[in-house]
Amino acid sequence: MNIPRPLAIALWPLSLVYGSAAKLRAWLYKQGWLKQKRLNRPVISVGNITVGGTGKTPMVIWLAEKLLAEGKHVAILSRGYRGANGTSDEIELMKQRLQGRVQFGVGSDRYAEAQRLDAARVDIYLLDDGFQHLQLARDVDIVLVDSTRPLQQEFVLPAGRLREPTSALTRAAAIVFTRTNQSQFTSARVPGFPKFSAYCAGTKLLGFQRHDSDRRQESLRHSLTGAHFAFCGIGNPDAFFADLQRWGVQLAGRRTFRDHHRYSQPEIAELQHVAKSAGAIALVTTEKDAQNLNHAVISDLSIEVAVASIEIANESEFLRDLRSKLPATVRAFA
């Protein structure tokens, strides 16, 4: 979301109204005028204060894996953005990676979704994209900030990318700056808010798999040979293209689509035509985009899927910090 500066300035008065409303809403919850609903198990929220991708889904998967490794029963609560019938591309990606080891509650009312789950089999809830979902009480708020897109001089919606003014970060228990291996980010502090627990994270390549393969059976390949044509419909496409180059993938071209875009056969046919014209031997995309590709899609060129995860610097310190903020009865990350 890159709004031309003249347009952003013209929309700035609306941003003042939007930002004031967001501040008032948060204040009403803080004062108790608007009541939060609390679940009978601890809740860790993962969210951000901007529109566009910051790595929330990889972070939720990473946390779920850590909790599962400790023997915890995990449930993930998500709105299922731009999805239908209780699922979305991000939900399907999490289900694929977590292989039935967690419960999912998907819907706009996360509290109601949690009530539908088997509470006896839940030790802890992960609230996906939950920073603004103040209706549900949480024990820990983790906020992700894309280090390649600094918040300084950024406007609130609709003039900019901010969902709330940056002062909302005071609600966070920890901030994770993502994609630091793509930026010149050196400080683990947010200007003006020195009390934050702040951590750096990067994107780690796990490997590549063909879209039309049985991904449970096919082992990951650690590199791709030859020229590839990259495409994606995610919140920060430039970050994906930069990652591919960092991972040594030769790019013959690239194309972007709207976030959560569902691909049609004609679109794949055109991508294939453009890729061949550019000299590419295959297409390459993200795991999230793979969920929006019909498995029956026909392509002469193979479609490679980049499988990646988040990697947090000072991981042990981050987990100790997170554990200290959770109720002692959970004993997560022991």
pLDDT confidence of residue 86:
79
pLDDT confidence of residue 216:
62
Report the distance separating Cα 176 and Cα 172, nearest Å.
Answer: 10
Over the stretch 133-145, which tens digit does the pLDDT of each residue have? 999 999 999 999 9
pLDDT confidence of residue 191:
54
In contact, 157 and 163? CB cutoff 8 Å: yes
Report the distance separating Cα 247 and Cα 255, nearest Å.
Answer: 18
Strands (E), the chain: 43-47, 74-78, 103-106, 124-128, 140-146, 174-178, 197-210, 227-232, 250-256, 282-286, 302-312
Report the distance separating Cα 322 and Cα 334, nearest Å.
Answer: 11
Over the stretch 233-283, which tens digit does the pLDDT of each residue have? 999 999 999 999 999 999 999 999 999 999 999 999 999 999 999 999 999
In contact, 141 and 171? CB cutoff 8 Å: yes
pLDDT confidence of residue 186:
52
pLDDT confidence of residue 185:
61
Q: What are residue 231's phi and psi, to 5 degrees?
A: -145, 150
In contact, 303 and 282? CB cutoff 8 Å: yes
Residues of the chain with pLDDT under 70: 1, 185-196, 214-217, 295-296, 329-334
CA dihedral 275, 280, 282, 286 (to 10 degrees): -70
3-state SS, residue 275: helix
Q: Global pTM?
A: 0.93
Q: What is the DSSP letter of 77?
A: E
Report the distance separating Cα 231 and Cα 211, nearest Å.
Answer: 13
Domain 5-202+312-324 CATH (choose: 3.40.228.10, 3.40.50.300, 3.40.50.10710, 3.40.50.2000)? 3.40.50.300
Beginning with the edge strand found earlier in the chain, give each strand of the sheet holding 140-146 in spatial order: 103-106, 74-78, 124-128, 43-47, 140-146, 174-178, 197-210, 302-312, 282-286, 227-232, 250-256
